[in-house]
Chain A
Amino acid sequence: MEILDILLSATFWAAAVRIATPLIFATMGELICERAGVLNLGIEGIMAMGAFTGWITVYAGADLWVGVGAAMLSGMLFGLLHGVLTAPFGLSQHVVGLGITLLASAVAAFAYRVSLPEVTNPPKIEPFQPVAPALADFPILGPALFAQTPLTWAAFAVAGLTAFVLWRTPLGLAVRAAGESPEAVAAQGLSVNGLRIGAVMVGSGLMAVGGAFLTLSAFSSFFFEMVNGRGWVCIALVVFGAWRPGKALLGALLFAAFDALQVRLQQTPMGADIPYEIFLMAPYALSILALVVMSRRAAAPAALMIPWRKGER
C-alpha cells in the first residue's frame, strides 16, 4: 500500500502545508475581493508581480520582510487600478481582470529582463529559513508545523484575521454588505465604491504576498510562468469554500495535500507506468470537479460582478 505509506510520512504533510501556503494567501485575497462584490481575475498576474517584486527587492540587498512588504505594495498598486476601473467606472470585471493579469505578468517579465539583461541562469537569493528546526523532529506534526518558514505561519494568521475582520468587525460587515446589498451600504452613508476599491487593494496585496512566497520561501529564484495557474486554482477554491475563509482554508489544504500526493505517486513503481502528465493534470481536473460538486450549494455574494451606480435599482 504505497498510498498509505505516503500518507503516514512526515515529509508528505510538510509538503502539503508548504504547497498550501501561496494558495492560502491568494485565496484569502480573492475571497476579500469577491465578498466586496468584485471578481478579481487579475490574481494570476498579480501573483507573478508579487513573486518578482519580492525577489528583486531581496536580490538588491533588502531584508526578506522588506521584500514581502514590497511585493504587497506592488499587488496593492495593481489592485488600485483594478478597483478604480471596475468599481466607480463599472467596467467589465472579466475584461479588466484579464487585462490586469496580462499587464502584471508582462510588467514583471519586462522588469526582470531590464534589470538582468545578460542572465541565463536565474540568480538565487537566501530564502526564508524554517521557524524552529529544532522542533521539526517531532513525529508527523513536527515537520508539518516547525519545518515551515515564517510565511507559512503568516498565511494561517492571515486566514484567521480575514475571518475575524469580515465577520467580527463593523468594517468587515460593511465590506460584505458592499458585495451583498450595496444599496444598504449607500443608505448608511458609506461609499460602496470606496469599500470595493479598498477590498480589492487589500486582496490584491495578499495575492502578491502569495506570489512572493514562491520566490522568497519556496524556490529562491524568479522564473517566468512560475505561478503556473495557481491563481486560477484559487478562484476555484473560493467557490469551493463557499466564500467562507475557514472552508476556503480547508480547501487549500486539501488541494495541496492532493498535489503533494500526486508528486509522490509519480515516483512509485505503479506511477512509473503512467505518463507524468496525468499526475500533473490531476490538480486542475480536481479543481473543476470541486467546482461542479460545490456549485449547487454555494451561494455567491448577491452583488458579485454587478457595478454599483447610485440611483439605479
Chain B
Amino acid sequence: MRLEPIPAPGPARRFGLPALALAATAALGSLLALIAGAEPFGVLGLIAKGAFGSKFALLETLNRATPLIFTGLAVAVAFRARLWNIGAEAQLYAGALMAVLIGAGTPALSGPLLLPFMALAAMLAGALLLLGPALLKTRLGVDEVVTTLLLNFIMLLFVSMLLEGPLKDPLGMGWPKSEALAREARLPRIVEGLRLHWGFGLALIAALLVWLLQSRTTLGFEMRAVGENPAAARYAGMPVERTIALTALLSGGLAALAGFSEVSGLKGNLTLDLSPGFGYAGVIVAMLALLHPLGVVLSALFVAGVFVGADSMSRAAGVPTYIADILLAAALLFMSLAILLTRFRVARD
C-alpha cells in the first residue's frame, strides 16, 4: 500500500473521519464493558453522566481538567517545535515543590505578592528542569525523550526524599507529606461556595496567551518553523538553538503551573500522589487537540471527563477504572490515524 495526498479533502472526510475515530473509541469502550461483565451501552452512559451529568460532576471535571490544560499546553508548545518533552510529570512536581517551599507553614513573604511569587518561582523551576535536556539536545545531540522520561523518575524520588526529610510535616503522623500552605498562599475560589479554584481561570488565560504567542508573535512563528523544518529555519537565519531553548523554558514553565495550581488551588499540601500521571496524560491532551492551544482546553475537558466519569461509573457498574486509560490511549491512536487519512488516501501499489 501507499499513501496518496488528497489535494482538497471535502468536509465529509475532514469531519467524518475524526468522528469515526471517536465512534471507534466508544465501540471499544462497550466491548471492554462487556468483557468486564457489565451492560455495554449503560457503561458509556454512566461515564458521560459521571463526568457532566450534575453540577457536582461538572465541577469535579473542571477541577481535573485544570492541571491537564497546563500539561497539555506544555506538551503542545514543545511538540510544535519538535522538542519531545515527555517530562511534564517531573516539571509538574518541580512547580509543586516551589509552591510548598515558599507558601507552606509561615511564609517569609506575605500579602498580595505571595501568590504571583509562588507561581513565578514554580514556572522558573519547571523551565530550568526542561532547559537541561533541551541544551543537551542542541549542544550534544542527546535524545530528549529519554532524558525527560528518566528525569520523571529522578524527580519523584527527589520529592519523596524531601517529604521524608526537610519538608516533612512534623504533625503528619509519619505520612510523607508537607506542611499545609498558609491561608494566603491558597488560590481562592472563582465563585464563593462553588468548588472551583482560580487555577482553572489561570489555565484558560495561559491557553489564550500561548495561542496569541503562537499566532501573533515572531517567536511563535519561529517555534513553528523550527518544528516543521529546522534546516530551512536555520537557512532562513532563525536562531534555531535559542528558539528550542525558549520553547523548553515556556513548556517547562507551563507544566510547573499544573503543580502550583494543584497544590495551591486544590490540595493545600504536597504528597507523593499529587499527580496520577497528569504529565503523561498531557501528551494525549495535546495530541487530541492537534497541538492547538485553544483546542487543548476542549481536549483537557474531554480527557478529564473520561477520568472522572470512569471513576464514578466504576463505583456503580464495577468496571475497573483502567478502562479510562485504555479509551484515552485508543482515542489517541485512532485520532492520529484519522487525521492522517483526512489528508492522504490509501492506494494499492
Contact = CB atoms under 8 A, between A and B. Distances in A.
Interface of A: 39, 41, 81, 85, 88-92, 94-96, 98-100, 102-103, 105-107, 109-110, 113-114, 117, 228-229, 232-233, 235-236, 239, 275, 277-278, 280-281, 284-285, 287-288, 291-292, 295-296, 309-311
B140 A95 contact: no
Contacts of A95: 283, 287, 332, 336
Contacts of A310: 2, 349
Given A114-B36, A292-B140, A89 B322 contact: no
B336 A85 contact: yes
Nearest to A310: B2
A37 to B, nearest CB: 15
Interface in B129-150: 136, 140-143, 145-147, 149-150
B326 A288 contact: no
B150 A102 contact: no
Given A102-B280, A102-B328, A232-B149, A117 B318 contact: yes
A91 B161 contact: no
Scoring B37, B86, B146 by chain A CB atoms within 10 A of each residue's CB, the highest score goes to: B146
A284 B153 contact: yes
Scoring B84, B143, B150, B153 by chain A CB atoms within 10 A of each residue's CB, the highest score goes to: B150
A278 B86 CA distance: 23
B1 interface: yes
Nearest to B155: A281
Given A281-B158, A284-B153, A103 B330 contact: yes
Interface in B229-255: none
A239 B146 CA distance: 10
A90 B150 CA distance: 27
Contacts of B141: 295-296
A89 to B, nearest CB: 6
A99 B325 contact: no
A103 B329 contact: yes
Nearest to A239: B143
A117 B318 CA distance: 9
Given A107-B326, A110-B36, A229-B149, 10 more contacts: A91-B336, A98-B283, A99-B332, A114-B37, A229-B153, A281-B154, A281-B158, A284-B157, A291-B143, A292-B136
Given A89-B3, A287-B150, A295 B284 contact: no
Contact of B337 (A91, A109, A235, A278): A91
A109 B161 contact: no
A39 B111 CA distance: 51
B150 A229 contact: yes
A90 B35 contact: no
Contacts of B318: 117
A94 B144 CA distance: 11
Contacts of A278: 161
Contact of A102 (B145, B146, B151, B332): B332
22 contacts: A85-B337, A90-B340, A91-B340, A96-B336, A102-B329, A106-B326, A109-B320, A109-B322, A110-B323, A113-B322, A114-B35, A232-B149, A235-B145, A275-B161, A277-B164, A281-B157, A284-B157, A291-B146, A292-B142, A295-B141, A310-B349, A311-B2
A292 B136 CA distance: 7
B322 A288 contact: no
B150 A233 contact: yes
Nearest to B336: A91
A130 to B, nearest CB: 31
Contacts of B24: none
Nearest to B341: A89
Contacts of B322: 106, 109-110, 113
B77 to A, nearest CB: 15
Interface residues of B, number: 47
Interface string B332-349: 110011001000000001
Contacts of B146: 232, 235-236, 239, 287-288, 291
Contacts of A284: 150-151, 153-154, 157
Interface of B: 1-3, 32, 35-37, 84, 86, 136, 140-143, 145-147, 149-151, 153-154, 157-158, 160-161, 164-165, 280, 283-284, 287, 318, 320, 322-323, 325-326, 328-330, 332-333, 336-337, 340, 349
Contacts of A105: 325
Contacts of A109: 320, 322, 325
Nearest to B82: A94
B325 A102 contact: yes
Nearest to B325: A106
Contact of A309 (B2, B151, B154): B2
Nearest to B150: A284
Scoring B3, B136, B143, B329 by chain A CB atoms within 10 A of each residue's CB, the highest score goes to: B329
Contacts of A98: 86, 280, 283
B326 A236 contact: no
A277 B325 contact: no
A89 B4 CA distance: 11
Scoring B3, B322, B349 by chain A CB atoms within 10 A of each residue's CB, the highest score goes to: B322
B338 to A, nearest CB: 11
Contacts of B36: 110, 114
Scoring B136, B161, B164 by chain A CB atoms within 10 A of each residue's CB, the highest score goes to: B161
A105 B160 CA distance: 24
B142 A295 contact: yes
A85 B259 CA distance: 34
A101 to B, nearest CB: 8
Nearest to A92: B336
Contact of A291 (B142, B284, B333): B142
